[in-house]
């Protein structure tokens, strides 16, 4: 069975849960992901223990622990996911220097107290695109605790810069609460969705 996976990953690192595939990394791995769908699994595309990871054109939805997480200097491009049961990304173990471009999919039936994303670690370059459709009225936040990252939030979800956050540059359509120090914050007009 293919389970929607096309990759160069050793078979031992592909796991099946609830009939869908999800991936997990190890310290020795160099992953170049070509996952088309990871969903309804304990964890989505979880590669934070790998030495390198590149994820492109992938979707992770309805995953229980998180939908995406990467090692230091990991990249995500052209990908999307939701936050129905867990954060879209949780930046596990405060891994730093990630380049991330994700489209946030609607999660109208989100369950639990989690955030849209928990941005830990430092020196990230992150873009959150908005998906097509009406503005979401459930405004869970994107929470930032690290330093010196550049974040472009094209979604309606608010950004909270915690007291530990310093030196971040945030451009956001959603409102921003800055509880940190030396952060630069500016607002966007409502951007077009990624499908417009």
pTM of the model: 0.79
Residue 196 falls inside a structural domain? no
Classify residue 107: in a domain, yes or no: no
Length of the chain: 196
Kindly state whether residues 92 and 119 are assigned to the same domain: no
Q: Are residues 1 and 94 in the same domain?
A: yes
Concatenating the DSSP letter of every residue in 63-124 gives: -SS-SEE--TT-EEEEEEE--SSS-SB--GGG----EEEEEEPP-TT--SS--SEEE-SSS-
Task: Round to whole Å and give the CA distance between 99 and 26.
Answer: 20
Supply the DSSP symbol for 5.
Answer: B
What domain range is 120 assigned to?
115-191
Tokens of 179: 């509880």
- Would you state the pLDDT for residue 23? 47
pLDDT of residue 120: 95
What is the total count of domains within the chain?
2
3-state SS assignment for residue 134: coil
Quick one: 75 and 160 in the same domain?
Answer: no
- Domain shared by 91 and 163, yes or no: no
Cα end-to-end span (Å), the chain: 35
pLDDT at 168: 98
**pLDDT, tens digit only, all 196 positions of the chain:** 334 444 443 332 333 333 343 444 443 344 444 445 555 666 678 778 788 888 888 888 888 888 888 889 999 999 999 999 999 998 878 889 999 999 999 888 889 999 999 999 999 999 999 998 888 888 899 999 999 999 999 999 999 999 999 999 999 999 999 999 999 999 998 776 655 5
Q: What is the pLDDT of residue 7?
A: 41
């Amino acid at each position: 069975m293919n389970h929607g996976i096309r990759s160069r990953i050793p078979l031992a690192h592909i796991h099946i849960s609830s009939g869908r595939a999800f991936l997990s990394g190890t310290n020795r791995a160099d992953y170049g992901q070509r996952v088309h769908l990871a969903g309804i699994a304990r964890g989505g595309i979880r590669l934070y223990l790998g030495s390198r990871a590149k994820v492109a054109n992938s979707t992770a939805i309805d995953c229980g622990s998180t939908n995406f997480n990467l090692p230091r200097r990991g990249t995500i491009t052209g990908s999307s996911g939701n936050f129905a049961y867990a954060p879209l990304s949780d930046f596990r173990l405060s891994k730093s220097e990630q380049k991330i471009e994700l489209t946030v999919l609607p999660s109208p039936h989100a369950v639990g107290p989690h955030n849209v994303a928990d941005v830990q670690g430092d020196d990230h370059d992150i873009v959150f695109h908005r998906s097509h459709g009406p503005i979401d009225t459930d405004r869970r936040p994107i929470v930032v605790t690290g330093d010196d990252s550049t974040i472009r939030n094209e979604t309606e979800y608010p950004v909270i810069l915690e007291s530990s956050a310093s030196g971040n540059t945030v451009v956001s359509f959603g409102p921003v609460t800055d509880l940190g120090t030396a952060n630069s914050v500016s607002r966007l007009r409502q951007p077009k969705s990624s499908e417009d």
